Amino acid sequence: MKRVFGFIALVLITGLLFAAGAAEKQPLAEAGLNIAIITTPSGVDDGSFNQDNYNGILAFVKNHPTAKVTAIREPSGDVAAALKAAADVVAEYDVLVCTGFQFAGIGELAMENPNTKFILVDTYPTDAKGNSVELPNVYAMTFAEQESGFFAGVAAALETKTNKVAVVNGVAYPSNVNYQYGFETGVIYANQKLGTNVQVLELASRAGTDVTGANVGGNYAGSFADEATGKVIGQQLFAQGADIIFVAAGATGNGVFTAAKESNGKLKVIGCDVDQWDDGTVGSGNIILTSVLKVMSLNVERVLNQIQDGTFKGANMLLKADTDSTGFVKKGGRNQLSTSTIQKLDESYALVQKGTIVPASNFGGFTPEQFKVN
C-alpha cells in the first residue's frame, strides 16, 4: 500500500513540475504581447505620423485581445532623451515601437536586449559609432517620402490659382527633408512637363538645417509640436500669395490648418502621412485639397503579426510606391482634386512605380534643382 501511495505522490509531483515548466516556456505571443510605442513630442493623437503608427498597433490588439499597448510620449524631441526613454522601459515590454529619426541610435540598446523586439519607423538602427546596422531583433522601416512629396507638388502645381505654393515642415530630419525635396521636385516636374508655371515660396528665416549641417531651405518650424509657430508660418506664406500649402509637420501642422480655416476659403492644404480630410472640416466646407500617404499602420500591424506567429525576422526595409507604401488620396468625397489632376497624378504615379521618375531626396545624390525630367 505504501508503494501505491508513493507512486501516486510521485506522479502528482511530476505532473506539477511539468505544468510549471510548461508555464515557464509558454510563448510570449500566447500570453499576449506587451507593446510600448514611444513617440515624438506630438504624441499618438497628432492626427498624422504618430497616430497612424499607433492605429497599426490598435488594429493588432483588436485581433489579439490578450495583447496590450502603452503609449509613451517623449516630450523634448532630443535624441539622447529619446534613447533614454527607450532604455528606461525596455525591460518591461516584449516589443518597443519607436517612431522617428531620433531613435536611430537604438542599435546598442537592441544588441543589449536580444529578447526584446524593436520596430523602428523612419530610421534604421545605428551602432555606437553611428553606422547603420541590421539586427535580428529589429525591423526598421523607412519610406520614400520624396515620392509622396512629389505627388503633393504635382497636385499643388496643377490646382493653384495664384501660381504660388509652399511646404511647411517640422524638423529637418531626413524623412522630413525628403517630403520637402519631393514636393519641390513635383512642382519642377509639373512646370516642365504639365504646362504649369508655379513658384515654391520659402521664408529665409525658416530655412532648415539637416543632420549634416547643410542648409536645405524650405519652411521649418523647428518642432513637430508647436501649433502657434505653424499658424504664423502659414499666415506668412498666405500673405505672400501661397494658396496651397503642403503640411509635413506633425502637430505643428495643426497651426497651418488653423491659418487655412481662417482664410475664408482662400488657402488650402495638402495633408501628410495619412488621410487628413476629417481634420480639414470647417463649417460645411473643407480646407484639404488631398493628402499624401506613407502606409505605416498596415506595415506596423504586419510586423506585429509576424512576432505573434513566430515568423519575425529583423530587417532594414525601404518601402516605396512599388509596394503601394506611398501614394495620395483620390477617393471620392475625401479630396478636392479635379478629374484632370487625378488623371495626371495617376500617370505620374505609374512612372514613379517604374522608377522612370526618381524625385530628389535628402541623401539621394541630387537636389530638386538638379532633378532631370526625361
In the predicted model, what is the mean pLDDT of the chain?
92
What percent of the chain has pLDDT above 70? 92
Domains, in order of start, for the chain: 28-143 (3.40.50.2300), 145-293+338-370 (3.40.50.2300)
The pLDDT, as a whole number, for residue 47 is 84
The Cα 258–Cα 249 span in angstroms is 13
pLDDT one-digit tens code per residue, 146-188: 999 999 999 999 999 999 999 999 999 999 999 999 999 999 9
The pLDDT, as a whole number, for residue 61 is 98
pLDDT one-digit tens code per residue, 12-71: 444 444 344 443 434 444 579 999 999 988 899 988 899 999 999 999 999 999 999 999
Residue found under cell 479635379: 338
Q: Compute CA 143 distance to the chain's CA centroid, rounded to the nearest angstrom.
A: 8
Taking alpha carbons only, the member of 202, 287, 197 closest to residue 237 is: 202
The pLDDT, as a whole number, for residue 206 is 98
Name the grid cell of 196: 504649369
Q: Compute CA 148 distance to the chain's CA centroid, rounded to the nearest angstrom.
A: 11
> 118 - beta bridge partners?
96, 138
pTM of the predicted structure, to 2 decimals: 0.83
